[in-house]
Chains A and B, each alone.
Chain A
Amino acid sequence: MNPAISTENLGKHFGRTAALDGVSLAIPDGAIYALVGRNGAGKTTLIKLLMNILRPSAGSAQVLDRDARRLAGKGFCGIGYVSENQELPDWMTVGALLDFCRPFYPTWDRALTEQLVAQFDLPLERRLRQLSRGMRMKAAFVSALAYRPRLIVLDEPFSGLDPLVRDELIESLLELAGESTIFVSSHDLAEIESLASHVGYLEEGHLLFSEEMSALSARFREVTVTLPESAAVRRDDPAAWIGVEVAGPTIHFVHTNYDGERTERQVAAAFPTALSIVYDPMPLRAIFLAVAKSERSRSRLTPTNARTVNS
């Protein structure tokens, strides 16, 4: 089956600034893909390129087997897009918004609409401009989910929402998981950790990795090496080791390509006098922090170097 979304060397420049550079990824059908990265990393730009809101400066993107540059009109019947910055027709009531959207979608599900309205406790007679941010986001969600889109694209959908609303929205998304591919961007790792099956990490317009969550968790290990005496600062660590820190006789680093015994043998060979070597699995947040720190220090030293973390 073709991926729901795929990009090939996708790039976007605003003048001399590269907002996105050479991004290649493939999101399998049915995945819940979390695109994470700091503010300004290029997440929104990537989503806007996928939604044909912006035109790419380089590369190409396919969305639901369609060239993203040709995505228009009926092509959006199978896509539900919600963004934190979206300008809704504020003059409409919630009910009018849903009534207005319905004829555009042949697959609009009235029962699902009613269910979501009830679930979100949405006031149908209130104008959108009179609603709180959370309620507006809920209304946007209903208008984007009610037709059971094949692809749901969410740009920072939970940003600034209170935890209760966020949980409600995540719950509604999870109910649709399986029948839809979900692409969600966020800079909050905690909110997507429970949600995502795949994850991609953007840093300053570069996609540092993009893979299944389980594979990511499996290949990252926090390694602690204890030596008999204080260690010297090492300068020739393998590229797969990032964030190497020496504290007396203890060396900490993150192994980005851990694959069990083979990795452990290589590390043991690097530290033949080690008293102990401990491999700890890392939570998603710790992985991203390690990668981000490593990238930052690397870009400070050699800003033009290749940036992909070994995997």
Chain B
Amino acid sequence: MKQILHIFQKDVRRLWIEILLAVTAAALFAWVTPKSWLSGPIMVRNPYQEIASLVCLLVLLGWFLLIARLIHGEVLVGDRQFWITRPYEWPKLLAAKALFVALFIYLPFLLMEAAILLEAGFNPLPYIPGLLYRLLLISLIFSPLIGLAAVTSNLARMVLTILGVFVAFIIVASTTAVHFQGNNGPVKFYNVPLGGLASIAVVLGVCGAVVVLQYAQRRVLVARLLLGSTPFLVLLTSWACNINLSVDRAFPPAAQTDASIIRMIAFEQDGQRRAAAHIWGSSGNDNFHNIDTKKWTLIKISLRASGVTAGDRWQLDAFRPTLAPANGAPVKLDWQPGQNLFDKPDDPNTLNYVMLAFLIPRSEYERLKSSPLTLHLDFALTQATPARTWRFSLPKGDFMIPDLGSCSAVDDRAGQVLHIAGVFCRFPLRMPSRATITALQTRGPCELAPAQPGDPALPISSSIGDFGTAPASFGISPMEQGQFLNAPNYTSDPKVVPIRLCPGTPVVVTQYRKVRAVQTGITIENFSLQGQ
């Protein structure tokens, strides 16, 4: 222990300026982040947002500098270092470095997060497990940095290596982006963290092995090869824990006896209604902008959901299409992400549509477009039920939804009108378990008649969050932000009476809890690609 403290003290004496910079940057971030949260008029620029972004960069830079200088204090590359022929015991040297990182990086990070939580109106104590989990996640930044510092001889080489890795990443990403964007989409399966967790374990494991190997034996070449292999190991892990495996594991097939689920989603046979649903559902295809149409073709399919039990809410997390022609090879795609929600409509005459969109290679489209196909769709569904409900009148400005988030109802412009353009919320450590907000809008200026229950007002509703189980998400700030409600109420046409969300309108916020995850599917015969 004496040697650990002795080396630690030496590092503190040597790096006090870097420590001061890193801790000051963290304190600055804790101070500026709450000021950057949107609470004023939506159209008015908040200068603190840019400052917060800059300070965030400063925090990252401070950590980078501190880690690089710390590890390079006893350089592990080369054969001329003073310390390698001194009685340093490598586990103690490593422990001294770990103590330094814990005290001057992890602890300030933890305090910074706690301060931001406190400022947002949340007592940090109940969130300690989540905060500790975030320390593990933030290690995804620190571990590769420590690993890289352990295999480089100075700051300049380390920076050059990072730039080299960055350029290589850009090149690889630019050549594979179409595939990722087009075929699988920007996949975000909150319910299937298998590949993600395994990848985290791989990154932490490899970086840890590199650091231990270097401190124990200074095997630079082996350590560099090992560190260089990390991206490939992560890819291999992702492949081994691929999305099909992950979804199949997380969503077991629905029992044959559970006919209500199996028949819940059906193909919309009516062409007119299908066309209408297409228009209605077109906004759900944001994942597929800027498609290279020479290579890919976008397919959209409208499905109707029915038979949902009152109060329940279903989420289509993913779907997997297989297109089989009468003759020739079928096109079988991976699981595609879907974020459709449906429940039992209040109005029995309202139809519930689920819009699916996916890309197939242009060549396959040309091959299949004129043949009648058998389309099989697998669905990964999550059933949820209301867990908590909050009812209140929508205030203007900042307000808390207890145990859920801290929100701001914001105007279009400063001090001009009374109506509310949107509700932005901040949630501690992660987006909340799926929650829905419903409010009533008023036709006309808010000054005249705030909406009341029973008014001929238009309901507006939107959702936020997911059913993930992780206690926290990755990031520097502990508050996740999102637009809970969007109420576009500005029109330039003087003849049109705008529909407005007014302060004082009754609001219902419902948070759901996951009941189960199941897999089901439908088969559509004589499906034509051209008819979609």
Binding site for B on A (CB under 8 A): 48, 51, 53-54, 72-77, 79, 81, 83, 85-89, 91, 96, 100-101, 103-105
| Most chain A beta carbons < 10 A, residue from B75, B81, B85, B88 | B85
- Contact residue among A48, A54, A77, A88 (Cβ-Cβ distance under 8 Å from B82): A88
Could you tell me if B85 and A103 are in contact, using CB atoms closer than 8 angstroms?
Answer: no
Return chain B residues, CB-CB under 8 Å to A105: 87
At the interface with chain A, which of B2-10, B235-243, B404-412? Answer: B2-10
- Decide yes or no whether B14 CB sits under 8 A from chain A: yes
Could you tell me if A87 and B80 are in contact, using CB atoms closer than 8 angstroms?
Answer: yes
Could you tell me if A76 and B86 are in contact, using CB atoms closer than 8 angstroms?
Answer: yes
Return chain A residues, CB-CB under 8 Å to B75: 87
Q: Shortest Cβ distance from A15 into chain B, in angstroms?
A: 12
Residue of A with least CB distance to B85: A81
Measured in the bound complex, the distance between the Cα atoms of B80 and A128 in whole Å is: 16
- Contact residue among A76, A91, A103 (Cβ-Cβ distance under 8 Å from B14): A91
> Contact mask B46-79 → A, CB, 8 Å, 1/0?
0000000000000000000000000001010011
Return chain B residues, CB-CB under 8 Å to A100: 6, 10
| Most chain A beta carbons < 10 A, residue from B79, B88, B90 | B79
> Contact mask B294-307 → A, CB, 8 Å, 1/0?
00000000000000
Return chain A residues, CB-CB under 8 Å to B2: 103
**Residues A86 and B88 in contact in the complex (CB < 8 Å), given A100-B10, A103-B3:** no
Return chain B residues, CB-CB under 8 Å to A76: 85-88
Q: Shortest Cβ distance from B410 into chain A, in angstroms?
A: 52
Measured in the bound complex, the distance between the Cα atoms of B78 and A77 in whole Å is: 22
Could you tell me if A53 and B84 are in contact, using CB atoms closer than 8 angstroms?
Answer: yes
Residue of B with least CB distance to A73: B89
- Contact residue among B6, B73, B85 (Cβ-Cβ distance under 8 Å from A51): B85
Return chain A residues, CB-CB under 8 Å to B86: 76, 101, 104
Return chain B residues, CB-CB under 8 Å to A103: 2-3, 6
Return chain B residues, CB-CB under 8 Å to A79: 85
Chain B contacts with A in 80-108, Cβ cutoff 8 A: 80-90
**Residues A74 and B87 in contact in the complex (CB < 8 Å), given A91-B14, A100-B10, A103-B2:** yes
Given contacts A51-B85, A89-B73, A101-B86, 20 further A-B contacts (CB under 8 A): A54-B79, A72-B89, A73-B88, A73-B89, A74-B89, A75-B87, A76-B86, A76-B87, A77-B87, A81-B85, A83-B80, A86-B82, A87-B78, A91-B14, A96-B13, A100-B6, A103-B3, A103-B6, A104-B3, A104-B6
Q: Shortest Cβ distance from A302 into chain B, in angstroms?
A: 34
Q: Shortest Cβ distance from A123 into chain B, in angstroms?
A: 19
| Most chain A beta carbons < 10 A, residue from B75, B78, B87 | B87
Q: Which 3 A-B pairs have the closest CB atoms?
A: A73-B89, A81-B85, A76-B87
Residue of B with least CB distance to A78: B87
Return chain B residues, CB-CB under 8 Å to A91: 14
Q: Shortest Cβ distance from B391 into chain A, in angstroms?
A: 64
- Contact residue among B10, B14, B79 (Cβ-Cβ distance under 8 Å from A53): B79
Q: Shortest Cβ distance from B223 into chain A, in angstroms?
A: 14
Measured in the bound complex, the distance between the Cα atoms of B84 and A88 in whole Å is: 11
Return chain A residues, CB-CB under 8 Å to B14: 91
> Contact mask B103-118 → A, CB, 8 Å, 1/0?
0000000000000000
Return chain B residues, CB-CB under 8 Å to A104: 3, 6, 86-88
Measured in the bound complex, the distance between the Cα atoms of B90 and A88 in whole Å is: 19
Return chain A residues, CB-CB under 8 Å to B84: 51, 53
Q: Shortest Cβ distance from B71 into chain A, in angstroms?
A: 14
Residue of B with least CB distance to A102: B6
Return chain B residues, CB-CB under 8 Å to A85: 80
Interface residues on chain B, size class: 20 to 34
Return chain A residues, CB-CB under 8 Å to B78: 87
Could you tell me if B80 and A73 are in contact, using CB atoms closer than 8 angstroms?
Answer: no
- Contact residue among A54, A73, A89 (Cβ-Cβ distance under 8 Å from B87): A73
Return chain B residues, CB-CB under 8 Å to A88: 82
Could you tell me if A48 and B79 are in contact, using CB atoms closer than 8 angstroms?
Answer: yes
Could you tell me if A87 and B82 are in contact, using CB atoms closer than 8 angstroms?
Answer: yes
Return chain B residues, CB-CB under 8 Å to A87: 75, 78, 80-82
CB-defined A-B contacts under 8 Å, sample of 6: A53-B84, A75-B87, A89-B73, A89-B82, A103-B3, A104-B87
Q: Shortest Cβ distance from B246 into chain A, in angstroms?
A: 43
Return chain A residues, CB-CB under 8 Å to B81: 86-87
Return chain A residues, CB-CB under 8 Å to B80: 83, 85-87
Measured in the bound complex, the distance between the Cα atoms of B79 and A48 in whole Å is: 8
Measured in the bound complex, the distance between the Cα atoms of B84 and A51 in whole Å is: 9
Q: Shortest Cβ distance from B156 into chain A, in angstroms?
A: 15
Could you tell me if B90 and A72 are in contact, using CB atoms closer than 8 angstroms?
Answer: yes
Q: Shortest Cβ distance from B7 into chain A, in angstroms?
A: 9
Return chain B residues, CB-CB under 8 Å to A73: 87-90
Return chain A residues, CB-CB under 8 Å to B83: 89
Measured in the bound complex, the distance between the Cα atoms of B87 and A79 in whole Å is: 9
Q: Shortest Cβ distance from A90 into chain B, in angstroms?
A: 10
Residue of A with least CB distance to B5: A103
Measured in the bound complex, the distance between the Cα atoms of B9 and A98 in whole Å is: 15
Return chain A residues, CB-CB under 8 Å to B89: 72-74
Could you tell me if B85 and A53 are in contact, using CB atoms closer than 8 angstroms?
Answer: yes
Measured in the bound complex, the distance between the Cα atoms of B474 and A26 in whole Å is: 60
Residue of A with least CB distance to B75: A87
Residue of B with least CB distance to A147: B87
Measured in the bound complex, the distance between the Cα atoms of B84 and A48 in whole Å is: 11
Return chain B residues, CB-CB under 8 Å to A53: 79, 84-85
Measured in the bound complex, the distance between the Cα atoms of B88 and A72 in whole Å is: 7
Residue of A with least CB distance to B153: A87
Q: Shortest Cβ distance from A166 into chain B, in angstroms?
A: 21
Return chain B residues, CB-CB under 8 Å to A74: 87, 89
Q: Shortest Cβ distance from A260 into chain B, in angstroms?
A: 44
Return chain A residues, CB-CB under 8 Å to B90: 72-73
Chain B contacts with A in 1-33, Cβ cutoff 8 A: 2-3, 6, 10, 13-14
Return chain B residues, CB-CB under 8 Å to A101: 86
Measured in the bound complex, the distance between the Cα atoms of B87 and A48 in whole Å is: 16
Residue of B with least CB distance to A77: B87
Measured in the bound complex, the distance between the Cα atoms of B85 and A73 in whole Å is: 8
Return chain A residues, CB-CB under 8 Å to B79: 48, 53-54
Q: Shortest Cβ distance from B115 into chain A, in angstroms?
A: 33
Measured in the bound complex, the distance between the Cα atoms of B418 and A81 in whole Å is: 79
Measured in the bound complex, the distance between the Cα atoms of B89 and A53 in whole Å is: 15
Measured in the bound complex, the distance between the Cα atoms of B87 and A87 in whole Å is: 16
Return chain A residues, CB-CB under 8 Å to B85: 51, 53, 76, 79, 81
Q: Shortest Cβ distance from A62 into chain B, in angstroms?
A: 17
Measured in the bound complex, the distance between the Cα atoms of B85 and A76 in whole Å is: 6
Residue of A with least CB distance to B89: A73
Measured in the bound complex, the distance between the Cα atoms of B75 and A41 in whole Å is: 27
| Most chain A beta carbons < 10 A, residue from B13, B80, B81, B88 | B80
Q: Shortest Cβ distance from A298 into chain B, in angstroms?
A: 32
Return chain B residues, CB-CB under 8 Å to A96: 13
Measured in the bound complex, the distance between the Cα atoms of B81 and A105 in whole Å is: 18
| Most chain B beta carbons < 10 A, residue from A77, A100, A101 | A100
| Most chain A beta carbons < 10 A, residue from B73, B78, B81, B90 | B81
Measured in the bound complex, the distance between the Cα atoms of B90 and A96 in whole Å is: 22
| Most chain B beta carbons < 10 A, residue from A74, A77, A104 | A104
Residue of B with least CB distance to A45: B79
Measured in the bound complex, the distance between the Cα atoms of B89 and A74 in whole Å is: 7
Return chain A residues, CB-CB under 8 Å to B6: 100, 103-104
Measured in the bound complex, the distance between the Cα atoms of B21 and A172 in whole Å is: 44
Q: Shortest Cβ distance from B258 into chain A, in angstroms?
A: 64
